[in-house]
Structures are given as C-alpha cells and as structure tokens.
Amino acid sequence: MKKDSKTVDSSAMAWQTDLRFWQRSFRPAAGRNTGLHAHPFWQVELIRSGPIDLIIESETAVLTAGDLVVLPPEIRHAFGYSGPENEWLTLKFYLSPSSLRSEGKVFRAQKDSVIEGLVRAFNALPLSGSHEQPITTTTRKTAEQLLVPLLQWTLFRQPEAVASHPALVGAVERRVRQAAGQELRVRQLAADLGLSANHLSTQFRQMTGQPLKTFIDEQRAEEAKRQLLYSENRISEVAAQLGFPDVYSFSRFMRRHFAESPRAMRQRLWEQRPV
C-alpha cells in the first residue's frame, strides 16, 4: 500500500473541508466485510480498537488501535472486521480546492506525537452514531478544522513537502524538550521528524520568526539555568550532564546567552531564592 505523495498541491493553507458523513463506535459482527466500494469523498479512518482489515484492490493492511488512514476519492476499498469489539471513527468529506489530487494513493499515518495529538482531539469530539444524528455547528466546524492539519501532516510528511501549520512547531518543541538540555543539532532534529534540515529550518522560521538553531540553543540555555538553580551538582557535573565537553565550553555558552558565567548565575539565583 502506498503511503506518500509529492504530487498533492502544497499550498495547503487554503484548504477547506466540508464534512458530509461520520460514524463512530460501531461494532459489526465478527467476520463482516463491507465489500469493495468507492465514493466521491475523501475519507479518514481512526481506529479505536481492532484488528480491522483494509482491502485496497488485491492488497490488505491490518489496522490496529491508534492507526489512521486517509483515502482519497474514488479509491475502491473494503473493510473486514475480525474482532468482536471493533471500534473506529469514520469521517467522509469534500476537500477544496478540488484540484487537489493524490494519484490514487492511500496514506497510512505514522504514529508520531502530532498524529496522536490529533487523534485524541478527534476522539474528544461529541460525535456519536452517524450523520443521521444532529451535531452542533461548533462541533462540525471543529471537526472540519482538525481535518486540515491532519491531512497536511499526513500527506506532506516527506522531505521538502511538509505543509506549513502549527503542528510542525509543536513537534519541534516536543522534540527539543525531550532532549532535556543535551546538544541537539538541526540535522538530527530534522531527521527525527522525517524532513530535510534546510526545509525544516525554513518552515520553522516562517512560522515563528525565529531561526531554529536559536530556538534550540535558547531552550538548552534555559535547561542549564534550571539545573544551576535547583541542582546541588558542581558546575562541571552540570556541564557534563548537558553534554558539554568541558566547563570552559559550558561557561562560554552561558555567557553568550545570559552575559554571566555559570558560577555567577548560580550565586545570584541562590541569593534570590526565598528563605
């Protein structure tokens, strides 16, 4: 099953969705198969419990809890339900501009922190039953707004084709926090997110107005400041924990960001602590 494409129009900030059908938490009898079918809508499947078989022509993929699949219009597909408690959320919608094309490719999202966050947001929506059940305008609009970053992140995850949306900034911030003050190079961060370093740096600066390396260094400096304040470790030990080769390098880094040495900063911070 093909999972990516670079042919979809990347001017995705103008995307709009029109939700037409939803179905949630439906438990069919084990062994049921929907049969191959196609429709004019885009379709998103969020699997809550499985396994559920997705059949595309002669190919079959087994979907489990947390999986997310995007099917473009007119793709012949079927679902097979082998588990006794299959649950999912189906969303069918029109996507504009109508010129968007995927060349018949089906997209299975990688389970990264961005997708997991969007799945949680969808699962929190008060959607129940099917399209025959009324939902508020606010809920519909929220679902339609969530679909746009979900599609952008899923369809444009390949290098040089990531869409510009806030989810990318969130992914960067989470990865930098995970580094916990350790050195994190832009190239390494980009590789972790499946992007090229140049493209990630450009996207991040366009969205935040700040160079990516500056952001990484500032977060590392703030972590060093926290350790100097709350840790009883010696300066050399703090430097080692943060991945600096020696105290001199650590001191030079801190002076560049705070205009004072680690020792002077610690003394000042400790003097300011409440008794």
Any idea what the CATH number is for the domain that residue 239 is in?
Answer: 1.10.10.60
Predicted pLDDT of residue 191: 85
Of 102, 126, 150, the residue that ends a domain is 126
| 3 domain residue, yes or no | no
Residue 52 located in a structural domain = yes
What would the pLDDT profile of 36-95 be if each residue is shown by its tens digit?
A: 888 888 999 888 877 788 888 767 777 877 888 888 888 888 888 866 667 888 889 888
What is the Cβ-side half-sphere exposure of residue 163, based on CA atoms within 13 angstroms? Answer: 22
What's the domain count of the chain? 2
The answer to the question of residue 55 being in a domain is yes
Q: Do the domain assignments include residue 67?
A: yes
Statement: residue 104 has pLDDT above 70: no
Closest CA to 167 of 179, 155, 184: 155
Query: What CATH number did the domain enclosing 86 receive?
Result: 2.60.120.810
Domain boundary among 74, 103, 126: 126
In a domain? residue 189: no
The boundaries of the domain holding residue 252 are 219-272
Q: Is residue 104 a part of any domain in this protein?
A: yes
Residue 236 pLDDT exceeds 80? yes
Residue 206 lies in a domain: no
